[in-house]
């Protein structure tokens, strides 16, 4: 039975104070009536000192020490992806709920171990998929669930962004297989998530990847062909080499009774919306589109609201560990296909 927190604020600690953590700190502040930031953890001494002063909370350079000295309900993990599994398992063994950034792990077996550890400890594992909360994608999800497309025949995703060499050089873990993963695993993982969340289970993947211009271990560019179990086919094209800046994060669905394209820099604009039969919410498509300069979107506070509702015992998780495994499985299958030059069928062996 999962423990809940009903009669007080939920005590939360942020683990890792780098680039993505600002979204977590902002979400905690936005939900300050329900969440209390009680500690931060960071291995960079200067960044740790800056962060603990900024938020006026104790700072630790070691997660084990933080858990020993604080009564924490949930930890929010913003560290390099390859560290998520060990930190999740440590937190679970201490009876602490876990929020982790994408991807949940860089290895399939590590993702499974995270889910198993949280199951055994009877704690919640939340895997952040904030793009699902985008207003544009919420409308699209509704149209799919209502079967307005009829049979979905073709789906295409493009992630045409840029990450200069300085980005990868900014930290030793960036661009490594062990801790980061490449364009599919890191930058485009939220778009990989859409493949299954919107369209359904995937049957087969064929992929090619390449390191075309950056001095890194992993891919900066890749393409993927997909066949879904429902018979639909599609593709995904990803590169971090777009000149001169992030250009497009788009999704196009072609069905027998509908065509939709959601584009912009991060699926933030509904650019085409056409169905055989109109519905009353079609008039919302202009309001659903929004301006953004951030590829992260604005979904983190909405995701944290679900975390609060779950820990209060009022709702089920939007994306738990098993839901997080779905996109990890697709990414691992993509890498296996590219490495071995063959079609990889899902599910992978458990």
Q: What is the DSSP string of 315-340?
A: S--SSBHHHHHHHHHHHHHHHHHHHH
Give pLDDT tens digits for 91-127: 999 999 999 999 999 999 999 999 999 999 999 999 9
β-strands 221-228, 233-239 pairing: antiparallel
Residue 229's pLDDT is: 97
Q: How confident is the model at residue 293 (pLDDT cuts 50, 70, 90)?
A: low
Contacts of 87 (CB under 8 A, 6+ apart): 15, 63, 75, 77, 79
What one-character DSSP code corresponds to residue 24? H
Other C-beta atoms closer than 10 Å to the C-beta of 268 total 24
Other C-beta atoms closer than 10 Å to the C-beta of 281 total 12
Counted residue by residue, the chain has a size of 350
pLDDT > 70? residue 341: yes
Residue 349's pLDDT is: 78
Lowest mean pLDDT among 47-56, 147-156, 208-217, 296-305: 296-305
Residue 63's pLDDT is: 98
Residue 296's pLDDT is: 57
What is the distance between the terminal CA atoms of the chain, rounded to a whole angstrom? 25
Q: Could you give the CA distance from residue 150 to residue 256 in angstroms, rounded to a whole number?
A: 6
C-alpha pair distances (Å), 235 with each of 41, 141, 155, 224, 230: 39, 19, 7, 5, 15
Residue 291's pLDDT is: 78
Lowest mean pLDDT among 57-71, 287-301, 317-331, 336-350: 287-301
Q: Could you give the CA distance from residue 38 to residue 31 in angstroms, rounded to a whole number?
A: 14
Helices (H), 146-278: 165-169, 189-194
What is this structure's pTM? 0.95
Q: How confident is the model at residue 1 (pLDDT cuts 50, 70, 90)?
A: confident
Residue 159's pLDDT is: 98
Residue 203's pLDDT is: 98
């Amino acid at each position: 039975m999962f423990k809940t927190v009903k009669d007080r604020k939920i005590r939360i600690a942020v683990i890792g104070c780098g680039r993505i953590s600002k979204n977590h700190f902002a979400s905690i502040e936005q939900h300050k009536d329900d969440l209390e930031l009680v500690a931060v953890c960071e291995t960079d001494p200067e960044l740790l000192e800056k962060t603990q002063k900024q938020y006026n909370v104790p700072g630790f350079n070691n997660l084990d020490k933080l858990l020993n000295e604080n009564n924490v309900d949930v930890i929010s993990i913003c560290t390099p992806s390859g560290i998520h599994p060990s930190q999740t398992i440590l937190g679970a063994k201490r009876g602490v709920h876990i929020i982790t950034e994408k991807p949940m792990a860089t290895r399939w077996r590590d993702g499974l171990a995270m889910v198993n550890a949280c199951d055994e400890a009877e704690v919640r594992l939340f895997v952040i998929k904030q793009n699902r909360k985008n207003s544009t994608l919420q409308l699209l999800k509704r149209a799919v669930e209502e079967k307005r497309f009829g049979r979905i025949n073709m789906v295409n995703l493009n992630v045409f962004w840029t990450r200069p060499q300085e980005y990868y050089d900014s930290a030793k873990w960036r661009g490594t297989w062990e801790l980061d993963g490449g364009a599919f695993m890191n930058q485009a993982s939220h778009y990989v998530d859409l493949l299954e969340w919107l369209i359904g289970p995937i049957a087969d993947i064929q992929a090619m990847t390449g390191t075309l211009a950056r001095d890194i271990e992993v891919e900066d560019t890749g393409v993927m062909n997909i066949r879904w179990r429902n018979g639909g086919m599609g593709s995904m094209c990803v590169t971090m080499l777009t000149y001169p800046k992030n250009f497009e994060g788009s999704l196009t669905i072609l069905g027998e009774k509908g065509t939709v394209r959601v584009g912009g820099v991060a699926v933030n604009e509904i650019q085409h919306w056409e169905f055989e039969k109109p519905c009353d919410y079609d008039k919302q498509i202009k309001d659903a589109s929004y301006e953004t300069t951030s590829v992260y979107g604005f979904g983190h506070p909405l995701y944290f609201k679900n975390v609060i509702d779950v820990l209060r015992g009022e709702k089920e998780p939007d994306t738990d560990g098993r839901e997080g495994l779905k996109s990890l499985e697709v990414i691992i299958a993509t890498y296996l296909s590219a490495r071995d030059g063959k079609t990889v069928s899902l599910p992978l062996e458990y």
